[in-house]
C-alpha cells in the first residue's frame, strides 16, 4: 500500500472567542491517496475553504496536524510554508487569481520564476502547459482579454507549472457556467490521470462529484459520512 | 440614494477624507492667494505710502512775481488750496518767500529779504538771536533780520548793525526798508536752501538774473519774520508753500482720493490766483509715487497669480488622481449597482451630491484655513519685515475664490465619477491613446505659444497684468511634465524587458507592474509636476532674488552713494571718508548733450565720472569694471602746489594804458581724495596793490591745481587793449613744472600772449586783453598744473552707442552743463553703473575735471560720494553730516525684494513649494494606499503561489521605486529646464520693463538637493510604510474574501 499524500489528523480551527466564536473546523481527519482526485463537498460556510487553506499552509489549525507528501505543514514556519507552496502544493482559486497585468504565458510562468527555473526550461514548460490546457494561441493575451473558462484554464496551467504533488482547487467552477465548469473539471480529471497529480477539489455540484475518485463531505466544520 | 451615499461615506471615510483633504488644500491655496492679491496688496500700498520719503509725498505750490499788495492774500489762498488738496490727511504746511532784489549802498550791489518758516530748523544760530516780528511795519519800524555769517563777513555787518535796503530793482519799485541785524546764522545743509535765490550761498559775484543786465553782486538773504515780509509792502519774487501730508496710517481708498486731488490742485490754484501772480504751479511727486505703487501692486499680483496657478493645476491633478483612484476602488460597487439597474443619470446625481457635499465641507474648512494661513504667512519673513503682518480675517474675494475653486474641483470630481478610467490590467484603447496624445500635443502647443510670447514681450512692457505671463509658467511646467512622462514608459518597458530575462520573479514583477499599470501613469503627472513645481519654485525664488540683487547693484552702482544736496565744500571729503569708511570716490553724475543730441523725451544721456583707479572697490553691477576703467585712468597725476592750512594767497597786478581793470581770482584746490573745489575772492583792481584772498585753505593737505582770472573793465571803449600782469603768492619752493596757461574761451580771441611762471613764491600770469566782448568769461586766464588734458576717455553704454552710432575710437563732443568736453570712446559696455538701460557714459572724474577747468568751468562737477565696502553704520553716520540723502545697495536690494509692494512674490513662492511638497507626498500616499486596497487579493494570491512576504515586499518596493524615482528625476529635470527657459522671462523690473541687467537663471544646488532629498525620503517613507502593511496583510483572510 502506498503512503497517503495528504494526512489530516484531528484538525480544529476556531475564529473569534467566547460566545461569538465560530468553530470552522472540528476534529477533521482524513487521508488522500496519491494520484487521486478527491472532491470536498459541502454547503457554503461548511468549512471547505478553511480546510483547504489549512492544508495549503495559508492558515494554521488551532489543533491537529496536516502532513503533505511527508511534510508536517503545521510545524513549518513562514519560509517553510512558502517553500511548501512553491514545491509541493498548488492552488486554483474560484476567482482564477491571475495577475491582471501579466499575459497568460507570464501568469503560467510565475511559479517557475519563483522556483528560479532556467529561462529556456521555463519557456518550454509554459508552452507545454498552455498546450495542455488548450490555450496555445492565447499566450500573449492578458486575463481581461480571456473568457472565464480560459482564465481558469490558465490558472490550472499555472498551478501545474511547478509540478506539484498536491493540487488544491477551491470551487474552480464557481464562476463558470455549467458547460465550461464541466470542461474545467474534466481537464483536472485528465491532468490527474496524465500527470499523476493528486487533486483536492472543493465543490457543491453533484455533476462535478461524479468525476472524483472519492468524495469527502463536510458540514458545520465536521466530516460527515 | 442619500441613505446609500451616507452609508458609503461611513464605510469609505478614509477615501472621502483624502478627497476632502485635496479639495481643501486647493481651496485654501486659492483663498490664501486671493488674500495676498487683495488684502495684503492693498495693505502694501498703504504701508508703502506710509514709508515713502518726504520728497516722494510732499506737495509744493510755487508762485512767482507777486505784486506788493497781493502778497498776503496770495500766501493765504495758496495755503488754503494746498490744505484742501491734502484732505483727508493732516498736513504740515510751511511757507517761504523772497522779495525782489533791492539796491544796497554802494554801486553794483543788491540784496533781498526772505521769510522762512521754521528757520531755526534750517540753520544754526551763531550769534545774536532769532528775528522777531516787528508788527506794524508801516510805521517805519526797522525789520529784524538774521543773515548768513559769510554775508555778514562780506558786507562787514555784525549783530546790531542796521542797514538800509534801497528801493526795489523793478519797474514799479517799493520804497526802501531798514533792517536791523539781530542774529548771525549758518545754513544747515540739506535744509531746503537750494530753493533760495542764491542757493544758500549768501553771495553771488555774478547772479544770472541780475536786474537790468547790469554787472551786480548779490547778497542775502536778510531773513525776516514771514508775516513781516508779507506785510512789508515788498514785491515778492517767489513764494512757496510746502505741504507734507501725514500718511502714517492711510487707507488705500483715501490715497487714491489724495492722488486725484493733488493732480487737480494746479488748476484750482491757477483759478484762485488768476491775475495776482505771473506764474503759479503745484508740483508733487505724490501722484507719481502712488501710481508707481499701484503699478507695482499689479505686477506683484500678476506674479502671485502665475505661481498660484501652478498650485491650482497641481491641486486639480491631485484631485483627478484621487477621483480616479476612488472610482477604481468603487469599481465593483459600481458594477453591482449598474447590474441592479442604476442609470448613468443616477450615478451622475449621486456623484454630484457627493462632490458638492465635499465642496461645501472644503469651503467650510478652507475659508478659516486660508485666513489662518495668510495671517501666518504675513507674520514670517518677508511679509512680516515688510510691515504687512495681519490678523486672520475673512473677506469677500477670499470666500468667492475658495467657493469658486472648490466648485470647479467638484465638477472635475463629478466628471471623473461619470466617466471612469479603464481598470488596471487593461491595455489602453487606441482612442484613449489618441486622446492622450492629442491632449499632450495641445498642451505643448499652448506652452510653445506662451514661451514665444514671453520671449518676444517688449523690453519696456507696462505694468498691466498680462494673461500670458500668468498662464505661461503653469502651461510650460505641465506640458514639460507631460512630455517627460512620455519618456518614462519606454524606459520602464526597457527595464521590463531586461528584467524578464532574469530567473526570479521579484524584478520582473516589479517592472511589469510599474510599466503596465495605468494608475502609475496617472500618478506620474502629479508626482512629476509636484516635483517640477517644487524645484521650479525654489529655483525661481533664487533667480528672482539674484535678479533683484543684480538690478540693485547696477541701479545704485556702488555699495553706498551720498547724493550731495549742494556743491561739495572744501574739506568735505575728509568728513565723508571718516563717516563712511571703506574706499571713497568723488563722483560726478550729470546729464550731457552729445553733439546736438539731447536724448529722447525723459532720457537725456548721462555721464558718470568717478575715481577710476578705485573702480574695483567702488563699482558694483554685472561687468568687469576694473578692465573697463583701466583705459579711463589719467596717465599722470596732477602735482599742484601744496598749501599749508590757513595759507592766505595775496593777489596783485597791473594793467597797461591806465586801464581800470579788475580781476576776480578763482583758486581750484584739490584734496587727498581728488576732490577739487573752487574758492573765489572778490573782484580786485589791478592797481599794483596787494589784496588777500582769505578763507580758501581751511584744511591740511590741499593743493593748488588751477587758478582762473576773469578780467573785467571798461578801459575806454570796445576796441581797447591792455596788457595785464597778475601775480598770486604761493608757498616758496613751488615751481612752474607742468603748469600752463590758456584762455578759457580761445575761440573768442579776447586773450592772447598768455604766459605763466612761478618764481619767488609768486605765480605770475601775463597776457594781452581785448574788451570787445562784454562778457568777462571770454577774457579768463586759466592756469593749470596739468597741461592740455586732451579728449576725455569714456566707456559708453550699448544704448548710447546705438543712439549716436558710436564705437570704440569714436570721438564725441559732449556738453556738460554749458561746457564743451571732447571725449573718445574706449569701450562699449551693456550698461553703466547707476544708469541701467540708459544712454550713458563713464569717465574718470579727474579727467573730466581737468577738461572742465581748462574751459574755465571751475565749479566742482562732483555731485555725489560713492563708497565701496563701507562700514556697517555708514548710512547713519553720513546722515549726521547733512550733506545729502544716502542710497545703499543693500537698501535698494531691500526695496526690491522686501518692500511691501514686492514681498508677496517670495512669500507665495514658499507657499508654492510647500503646497507642491504636500500635494506630492499626499498623492504618493493616496496612490500607494489605494494600490494596497485594489491589489490586496492579488498580493495574497502571490502568497498562495509560494511567494514569501519578503519577496512580496521587495517586489512592491521595487515597483514603486521604479515608478516614483524616474518621475521625481523627470520632475526635477522639468523644474530645472523651466527655470532656465521661463524664470528669467517672468522677472520684470519694478516698473514692469525687462530687468537690467537681464535676469539669469539660478539653480541653488544645495536647496534643490535638500528639497529633492526630502521628496525622495518622504516618498520612500510613505511607500515603505504602506508596502510593509500590505505585505503583512497578505494572508488567508484575503483569500477567504474571494
Total beta-carbon pairs less than 8 A apart between chain A and chain B: 96
Mean pLDDT of B863-874: 94
CB contact under 8 A, B425 and A97: no
Residue B165: partners with Cβ closer than 8 Å, 6 or more residues away: B102, B103, B104, B111, B113, B176, B177, B178, B179, B222
Per the CB < 8 Å rule, is A56 touching B503?
no
Distance, in angstroms, between B449 CA and closest chain A CA?
A: 39
Interface of B with A in 426-455 (CB under 8 A): 426-427
Q: Is B1041 in the A-facing interface, judged by CB distances under 8 Å?
A: no
> Which residue out of A13, A66, A114 would a mutagenesis test of the B interface target, given it has the greatest number of B Cβ atoms within 10 Å?
A114
B-chain residues near A56 (CB < 8 A): 944
Across the interface, whether the CB atoms of A101 and B1039 are under 8 A apart is answered no
B1039 touching chain A per CB within 8 A:
yes
Q: What is the mean pLDDT of residues B383-409?
A: 90
3-state helix, strand, coil in chain A (%, to 5): 40, 25, 35
Average pLDDT across chain A, whole number: 87
Q: Count CB-CB contacts under 10 A for residue B426.
A: 17
Nearest Cα neighbor of B532 from B969, B975, B965 is B975
Pairing of strands A214-219, A198-203: unpaired
- CA–CA separation, B57 vs B468, rounded Å? 34
CB contacts, 8 Å: A100 with chain B: 423-426, 938
Reported as a pLDDT band with limits 50, 70 and 90, residue B519 is: low
Tens-place pLDDT, residues B54-89 = 888 999 999 999 988 888 999 999 999 999 999 889
Neighbours of B602 (CB within 10 A): 5
> What pLDDT band is residue B1018 in, cutting at 50, 70 and 90?
very high
Whether a cis peptide bond, with omega within 30° of 0, leads into B606 is: no
Q: How far apart are the first and last CA of chain A?
A: 23
Give bridge partners of residue A201 from the DSSP assignment. A39, A169
Q: Which residues of B touch A82 (CB under 8 A)?
A: 943, 946-948
- Look at residue B1031 in the predicted model and tell me its pLDDT: 78
Q: How many of the other CB atoms lie within 10 Å of CB of B88?
A: 11
Could you tell me the CA-to-CA distances from A47 to A20, A115, A168, B755 in Å, in that order? 17, 31, 15, 130
Residue B617 φ/ψ, nearest 5 degrees: -85, -25
DSSP helix, strand, coil percent of chain B (3-state; round to 5): 50, 20, 30
- Show residues of chain B in contact with A95, CB under 8 Å: 937, 1042
The pLDDT score that the predictor gives to residue B76 is: 93
B513 touches chain A (CB under 8 A): yes
Interval B922-955: pLDDT, tens: 888 877 877 777 777 778 778 778 888 888 888 8
The band of B456, judged by pLDDT with boundaries at 50, 70 and 90, is confident
Which residues from B are below 8 Å from A113, CB to CB? 503-505, 508
Q: Which of B504, B937, B1040 sits opposite A113 (nearest CB)?
A: B504
Cis status of the peptide bond prior to B650, with omega within 30 of 0: no
Grade residue B1042 by pLDDT with cuts at 50, 70 and 90: very low
Within 10 A of A163 (CB to CB), how many other CB atoms are there?
Answer: 15
Whether a cis peptide bond, with omega within 30° of 0, leads into B221 is yes
- Contact list in B for residue A78 (CB cut-off 8 A) is 948-949
B1027 has pLDDT over 90: no
**Nearest-CA distance A83 → chain B (Å):** 6
> Chain B residue with minimal CA distance to A110?
B505
The confidence score (pLDDT) of residue B414 equals 84
Length of chain A in terms of residues written: 225
Instruction: List pLDDT tens digits, range B325-341.
Output: 777 777 777 777 777 77
Give me the residue from B505, B948, B1035 closest to A110, CB to CB: B505
Contact criterion met (CB < 8 Å) for B946 and A49: no
How deeply is A222 buried, as exposed, middle or buried, from its count of CB atoms within 10 A (0-12, 13-18, 19+)? Answer: middle
Question: Contact B425/A101, CB-based, under 8 Å?
Answer: yes
Between B425, B949, B1036, which is nearest A100 by CB? Answer: B425
B503 to A118: CB separation less than 8 angstroms, yes or no: yes
Backbone dihedral angles phi then psi of residue B801, each to the nearest 5 degrees: -60, -40
Interval A42-87: pLDDT, tens: 888 888 889 998 998 888 899 999 999 889 998 888 888 888 888 8
What ipTM was estimated for this complex? 0.82
DSSP A16: S
Please tell me if residue B517 touches chain A, with a CB cutoff of 8 Å: yes
Could you say which of B423, B427, B947 has the minimum Cβ distance to residue A114?
Answer: B947
A49 to B513: CB separation less than 8 angstroms, yes or no: no
Contacts of A97 (CB under 8 A, 6+ apart): A91, A155, B937, B938, B941, B944, B1042
Say yes or no: B421 contacts chain A, CB-CB below 8 A: no
Q: Which H/E stretch holds residue B878?
A: helix B874-879
Nearest by CB: B512 against A59, A84, A101: A101
By the 10 Å C-beta count (0-12 exposed, 13-18 middle, 19+ buried), B604 is classed as middle
Mind listing the pLDDT tens digit for each residue in B772-824?
776 767 788 899 998 788 899 999 999 999 989 999 999 999 999 888 999 99
Find out whether the peptide bond into B88 is cis, omega within 30 degrees of 0: yes
CA distances to B570, B643, B861 from B670, rounded to whole Å, are: 8, 10, 13
- Looking at residue B427, what is its pLDDT? 55
Which tops the pLDDT comparison, B734 or A193?
Answer: A193
| CB environment B450-489: b (16+ within 10 A), e (fewer) | bbebbeebeeebebeebebbbbbbbbbbbbbbbbbbeebb
Q: Please give the torsion angle defined by the CA atoms of residues B142, B143, B144 and B148, in that order, rounded to the nearest 10 degrees.
A: -120
Confirm if A186 and A176 have CB atoms less than 8 A apart: no
Residues in chain A within 8 Å Cβ distance of B508: 113
**At residue B421, does pLDDT exceed 80?**
no
Residue contact A100–B944, C-beta within 8 A? no
The Cα B847–Cα B814 span in angstroms is: 14
Provide the shortest C-alpha distance from residue B942 to chain A (in Å). 9
B1036 chain-A contacts, CB cut-off 8 A: 53, 58-59
Question: How many other CB atoms sit within 10 Å of the CB of residue B658?
Answer: 10
Q: Give CA separation, B300 vs B303, B305, B458, B477, B999, in Å.
A: 5, 9, 18, 20, 17
Mind telling me how many Å the CA of B966 is from chain A's nearest CA?
21
Under a CB-based contact definition with an 8 Å cutoff, are residues B865 and B549 in contact?
A: no
Q: What is the pLDDT of residue B211?
A: 47
With H, G, I as helix, E, B as strand and everything else as coil, classify residue B765: strand
Inspect the interface and report whether the beta carbons of A144 and B949 lie closer than 8 Å: no
B941 touches chain A (CB under 8 A): yes
What would the pLDDT profile of B625-676 be if each residue is shown by its tens digit? 999 999 999 988 888 898 998 889 999 998 887 567 888 899 999 988 888 9
How far is CA B157 from each of CA B121, B123, B162, B182, B969, rounded to the nearest angstrom? 23, 18, 8, 11, 85
3-state secondary structure B600-640: ECCECCEEEEECHHHHHHHCCCCCCHHHHHHHHCCCCCCCC
Beta bridge partners of B824: B793, B811
Q: Would you kindly state where each structural domain of chain A is located, as residue ranges? A: 36-59+83-224
How many percent of chain A have pLDDT more than 70?
Answer: 100
8 Å CB contact of B425 and A49: no
* Chain A residues with beta carbon closer than 8 angstroms to that of B942: 99, 110
| Interatomic CA distance for residues A94 and A208, integer angstroms | 14
Q: Closest residue of B to A158, CA-based?
A: B945
Residue B1035 with chain A: CB contacts under 8 Å: 58-59
Which residues, in sequence order, are CB contacts of A179 under 8 Å at separation 6+? none
Query: Does residue B511 have a pLDDT over 70?
Result: yes
- B230-275 pLDDT, tens digit each: 888 889 999 999 999 988 888 888 899 999 999 999 999 999 998 8
Residues of A in contact with B426 (CB under 8 A): 100, 142, 144
Q: Report the candidate in B98, B29, B702, B628 with the shortest Cα–Cα distance to residue B370.
A: B29
Query: Residue B673: left (phi > 0), alpha (psi -120 to 50), or beta?
Result: alpha
Which of B942, B946, B1036 is opposite residue A59, by nearest beta carbon? B1036
Of A87, A119, A143, the CB nearest to B425: A143
Look up residue B282 and give its DSSP letter.
E
The three-state (H, E, C) secondary structure of B554-577, written as one string: HHHCCCEEEECCCCCCCCHHHHHH
| Chain A CB within 8 Å of residue B425 CB | yes
Q: Distance (Å, rounded) from C-alpha B1026 to C-alpha B955? A: 13
Q: Cβ separation of A53 and B1036 shorter than 8 Å?
A: yes
Residue B212 has pLDDT above 50, yes or no: no
B1041 pLDDT more than 50: no
Q: Kindly report the backbone phi and psi dihedral angles of residue B682, in degrees, each rounded to the nearest multiple of 5, phi listed first.
A: -80, 165
- From B407, B302, B370, select the one nearest B911 (Cα to Cα): B370
Kindly provide the residue ranges of all beta strands, DSSP E only, lying in B967-1032, ordered along the sequence: none
- Of B804, B831, B841, the closest CA to residue B632 belongs to B841
Q: Indicate the pLDDT class of residue A172, thresholds 50, 70 and 90.
A: confident
Phi, psi of B177 (to 5 degrees): -130, 155
User: Interface of chain A against chain B, CB under 8 Å?
Assistant: 49-50, 53, 56, 58-59, 78-79, 82-87, 90-91, 93-95, 97, 99-102, 106, 110-111, 113-114, 116-119, 122, 142-145, 158, 162
Nearest CA to B980 out of B440, B536, B550 is that of B536
**Cβ atoms of B1 and B346 closer than 8 Å:** yes
- How, if at all, do strands B123-128 and B143-148 pair? unpaired
- Res B61: pLDDT: 93
Q: Considering the domain A36-59+83-224, what is its CATH architecture?
A: 3-Layer(aba) Sandwich (3.40)
Beta carbons within 10 angstroms of residue B713's beta carbon = 21
Distance, CA of B883 to CA of B863 (rounded, Å): 11
- How far is residue B517's CA from residue B746's CA, in Å, rounded to a whole number? 92
- Cα separation, B862 vs B580, in Å, equals 17
For residue B630, give the nearest of B427, B390, B856, B793 by alpha carbon: B793
The answer to whether A53 contacts B503, with C-beta atoms less than 8 Å apart, is no
User: Against a cut of 0.90, is the pTM above it?
Assistant: no
In terms of CA atoms, which chain B residue is nearest residue A48? B1040
Chain A nearest CA to B506, separation (Å): 9
DSSP B408: H
Q: What is the pLDDT of residues B678-720, one digit of tens each?
A: 888 878 888 888 999 887 888 888 899 999 998 887 555 666 7
What's the whole-number mean pLDDT along residues A106-134?
88
Can you give the pLDDT at residue A114? 85
Amino acid at each position: 500500500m502506498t503512503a497517503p499524500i495528504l494526512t489530516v489528523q484531528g484538525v480544529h480551527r476556531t475564529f473569534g472567542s467566547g460566545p461569538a466564536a465560530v468553530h470552522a473546523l472540528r476534529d477533521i481527519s482524513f487521508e488522500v491517496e496519491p494520484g487521486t482526485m478527491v472532491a470536498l463537498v459541502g454547503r457554503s460556510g461548511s468549512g471547505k475553504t478553511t480546510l483547504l487553506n489549512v492544508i495549503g499552509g495559508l492558515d494554521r489549525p488551532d489543533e491537529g496536524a496536516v502532513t503533505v507528501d511527508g511534510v508536517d505543514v503545521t510545524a513549518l514556519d513562514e519560509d517553510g510554508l512558502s517553500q511548501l507552496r512553491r514545491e509541493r502544493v498548488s492552488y486554483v482559486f474560484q476567482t482564477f487569481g491571475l495577475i491582471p497585468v501579466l499575459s497568460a504565458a507570464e501568469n503560467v510562468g510565475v511559479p517557475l520564476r519563483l522556483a528560479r527555473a532556467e529561462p529556456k526550461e521555463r519557456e518550454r514548460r509554459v508552452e507545454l502547459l498552455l498546450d495542455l490546457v488548450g490555450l496555445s494561441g492565447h499566450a500573449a493575451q492578458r486575463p481581461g482579454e480571456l473568457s472565464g473558462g480560459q482564465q481558469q484554464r490558465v490558472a490550472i496551467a499555472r498551478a501545474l507549472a511547478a509540478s506539484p504533488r498536491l493540487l488544491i482547487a477551491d470551487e474552480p467552477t464557481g464562476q463558470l457556467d455549467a458547460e465550461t465548469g464541466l470542461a474545467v473539471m474534466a481537464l483536472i480529471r485528465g491532468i490527474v490521470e496524465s500527470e499523476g497529480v493528486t487533486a483536492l477539489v472543493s465543490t457543491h455540484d453533484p455533476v462535478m462529484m461524479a468525476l472524483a475518485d472519492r468524495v469527502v463531505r463536510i458540514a458545520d466544520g465536521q466530516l460527515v459520512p | 440614494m442619500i441613505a446609500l451615499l451616507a452609508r458609503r461615506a461611513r464605510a469609505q471615510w478614509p477615501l472621502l477624507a483624502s478627497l476632502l483633504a485635496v479639495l481643501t488644500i486647493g481651496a485654501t491655496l486659492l483663498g490664501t492667494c486671493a488674500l495676498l492679491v487683495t488684502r495684503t496688496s492693498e495693505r502694501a500700498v498703504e504701508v508703502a505710502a506710509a514709508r515713502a520719503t518726504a520728497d516722494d509725498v510732499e506737495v509744493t505750490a510755487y508762485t512767482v512775481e507777486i505784486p506788493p499788495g497781493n502778497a498776503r492774500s496770495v500766501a493765504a489762498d495758496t495755503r488754503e488750496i494746498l490744505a484742501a488738496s491734502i484732505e483727508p490727511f493732516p498736513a504740515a504746511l510751511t511757507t517761504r518767500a523772497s522779495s525782489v532784489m533791492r539796491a544796497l549802498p554802494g554801486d553794483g550791489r543788491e540784496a533781498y529779504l526772505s521769510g522762512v518758516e521754521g528757520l531755526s530748523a534750517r540753520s544754526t544760530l551763531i550769534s545774536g538771536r532769532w528775528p522777531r516780528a516787528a508788527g506794524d511795519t508801516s510805521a517805519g519800524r526797522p525789520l529784524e533780520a538774521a543773515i548768513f555769517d559769510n554775508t555778514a563777513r562780506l558786507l562787514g555787518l555784525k549783530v546790531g548793525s542796521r542797514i538800509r535796503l534801497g528801493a526795489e530793482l523793478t519797474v514799479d519799485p517799493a520804497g526802501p526798508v531798514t533792517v536791523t541785524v539781530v542774529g548771525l546764522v549758518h545754513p544747515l545743509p540739506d535744509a531746503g536752501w537750494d530753493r533760495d535765490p542764491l542757493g544758500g550761498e549768501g553771495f553771488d559775484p555774478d547772479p544770472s538774473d541780475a536786474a537790468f543786465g547790469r554787472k551786480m553782486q548779490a547778497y542775502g538773504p536778510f531773513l525776516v519774520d514771514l508775516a513781516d515780509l508779507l506785510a512789508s509792502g515788498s514785491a515778492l519774487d517767489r513764494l512757496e508753500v510746502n505741504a507734507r501730508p501725514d500718511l502714517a496710517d492711510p487707507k488705500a481708498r483715501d490715497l487714491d482720493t489724495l492722488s486725484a486731488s493733488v493732480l487737480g490742485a494746479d488748476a484750482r490754484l491757477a483759478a484762485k490766483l488768476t491775475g495776482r501772480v505771473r506764474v503759479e504751479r503745484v508740483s508733487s511727486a505724490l501722484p507719481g509715487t502712488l501710481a508707481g505703487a499701484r503699478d507695482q501692486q499689479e505686477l506683484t499680483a500678476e506674479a502671485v497669480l502665475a505661481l498660484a496657478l501652478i498650485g491650482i493645476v497641481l491641486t486639480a491633478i491631485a484631485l483627478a488622481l484621487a477621483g480616479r483612484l476612488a472610482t477604481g476602488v468603487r469599481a465593483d460597487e459600481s458594477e453591482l449597482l449598474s447590474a441592479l439597474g442604476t442609470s448613468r443619470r443616477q450615478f451622475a446625481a449621486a456623484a454630484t451630491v457627493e462632490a458638492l457635499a465635499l465642496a461645501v465641507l472644503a469651503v467650510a474648512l478652507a475659508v478659516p484655513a486660508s485666513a489662518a494661513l495668510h495671517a501666518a504667512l504675513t507674520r514670517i519673513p518677508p511679509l512680516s519685515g515688510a510691515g504687512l503682518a495681519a490678523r486672520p480675517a475673512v473677506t469677500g474675494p477670499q470666500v468667492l475664490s475658495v467657493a469658486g475653486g472648490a466648485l470647479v474641483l467638484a465638477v472635475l470630481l463629478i466628471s471623473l465619477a461619470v466617466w471612469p478610467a479603464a481598470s488596471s490590467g487593461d491595455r489602453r484603447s487606441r482612442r484613449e491613446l489618441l486622446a492622450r496624445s492629442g491632449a499632450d500635443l495641445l498642451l505643448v502647443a499652448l506652452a510653445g505659444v506662451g514661451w514665444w510670447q514671453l520671449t518676444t514681450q517688449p523690453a519696456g512692457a507696462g505694468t498691466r497684468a498680462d494673461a500670458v505671463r500668468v498662464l505661461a509658467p503653469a502651461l510650460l511646467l505641465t506640458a514639460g511634465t507631460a512630455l517627460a512622462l512620455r519618456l518614462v514608459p519606454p524606459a520602464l518597458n526597457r527595464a521590463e524587458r531586461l528584467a524578464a530575462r532574469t530567473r526570479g520573479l521579484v524584478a520582473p514583477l516589479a517592472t511589469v507592474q510599474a510599466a503596465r499599470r495605468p494608475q502609475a501613469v496617472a500618478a506620474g503627472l502629479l508626482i512629476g509636476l509636484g516635483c517640477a513645481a517644487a524645484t521650479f519654485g525654489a529655483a525661481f525664488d533664487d533667480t528672482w532674488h539674484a535678479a533683484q540683487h543684480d538690478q540693485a547693484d547696477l541701479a545704485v552702482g556702488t555699495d553706498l552713494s551720498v547724493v550731495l544736496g549742494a556743491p561739495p565744500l572744501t574739506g568735505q571729503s575728509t568728513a565723508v571718508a571718516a563717516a563712511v569708511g571703506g574706499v571713497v570716490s568723488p563722483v560726478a553724475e550729470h546729464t550731457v548733450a552729445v553733439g546736438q543730441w539731447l536724448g529722447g523725451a525723459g532720457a537725456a544721456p548721462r555721464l558718470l565720472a568717478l575715481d577710476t583707479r578705485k573702480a574695483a572697490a567702488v563699482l558694483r553691477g554685472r561687468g568687469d569694471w576694473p578692465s573697463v576703467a583701466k583705459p579711463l585712468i589719467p596717465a599722470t597725476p596732477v602735482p599742484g602746489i601744496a598749501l599749508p592750512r590757513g595759507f592766505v594767497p595775496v593777489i596783485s597786478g597791473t594793467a597797461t594804458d591806465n586801464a581800470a581793470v579788475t580781476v576776480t581770482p578763482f583758486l581750484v584746490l584739490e584734496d587727498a581724495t581728488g576732490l577739487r573745489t573752487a574758492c573765489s575772492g572778490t573782484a580786485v583792481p589791478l592797481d599794483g596793490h596787494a589784496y588777500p584772498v582769505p578763507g580758501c585753505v581751511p584744511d591740511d593737505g590741499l593743493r593748488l591745481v588751477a587758478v582762473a582770472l576773469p578780467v573785467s573793465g571798461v578801459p575806454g571803449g570796445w576796441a581797447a587793449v591792455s596788457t595785464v600782469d597778475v601775480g598770486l603768492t604761493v608757498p616758496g619752493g613751488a615751481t612752474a613744472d607742468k603748469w600752463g596757461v590758456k584762455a578759457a574761451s580761445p575761440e573768442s580771441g579776447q586773450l592772447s600772449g598768455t604766459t605763466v611762471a612761478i618764481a619767488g613764491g609768486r605765480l605770475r600770469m601775463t597776457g594781452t586783453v581785448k574788451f570787445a566782448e562784454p562778457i568777462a568769461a571770454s577774457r579768463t586766464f586759466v592756469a593749470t598744473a596739468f597741461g592740455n588734458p586732451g579728449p576725455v576717455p569714456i566707456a559708453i553704454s550699448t544704448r548710447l552707442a546705438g543712439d549716436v552710432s558710436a564705437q570704440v575710437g569714436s570721438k564725441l563732443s559732449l556738453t556738460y552743463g554749458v561746457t564743451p568736453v571732447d571725449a573718445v570712446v574706449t569701450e562699449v559696455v551693456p550698461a553703466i553703473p547707476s544708469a541701467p538701460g540708459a544712454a550713458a557714459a563713464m569717465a574718470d572724474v579727474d579727467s573730466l575735471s581737468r577738461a572742465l577747468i581748462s574751459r574755465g568751468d571751475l565749479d566742482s562737477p562732483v555731485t555725489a560720494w560713492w563708497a565701496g565696502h563701507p562700514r556697517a553704520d555708514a548710512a547713519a553716520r553720513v546722515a549726521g553730516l547733512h550733506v545729502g540723502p544716502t542710497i545703499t545697495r543693500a537698501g535698494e536690494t531691500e526695496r526690491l525684494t522686501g518692500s511691501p509692494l514686492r514681498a508677496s512674490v517670495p512669500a507665495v513662492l514658499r507657499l508654492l513649494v510647500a503646497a507642491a511638497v504636500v500635494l506630492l507626498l499626499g498623492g504618493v500616499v493616496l496612490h500607494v494606499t489605494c494600490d494596497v486596497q485594489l491589489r490586496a487579493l492579488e498580493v495574497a494570491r502571490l502568497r498562495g503561489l509560494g511567494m514569501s512576504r519578503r519577496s512580496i515586499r521587495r517586489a512592491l518596493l521595487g515597483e514603486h521605486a521604479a515608478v516614483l524615482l524616474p518621475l521625481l528625476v523627470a520632475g526635477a529635470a522639468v523644474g530645472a529646464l523651466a527655470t532656465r527657459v521661463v524664470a528669467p522671462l517672468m522677472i520684470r523690473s519694478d516698473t514692469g520693463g525687462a530687468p537690467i541687467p537681464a535676469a539669469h537663471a539660478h539653480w541653488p544646488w544645495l536647496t534643490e538637493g535638500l528639497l529633492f532629498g526630502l521628496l525622495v525620503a518622504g516618498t520612500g517613507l510613505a511607500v515603505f510604510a504602506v508596502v510593509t502593511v500590505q505585505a503583512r496583510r497578505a494572508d488567508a483572510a484575503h483569500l477567504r474574501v474571494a
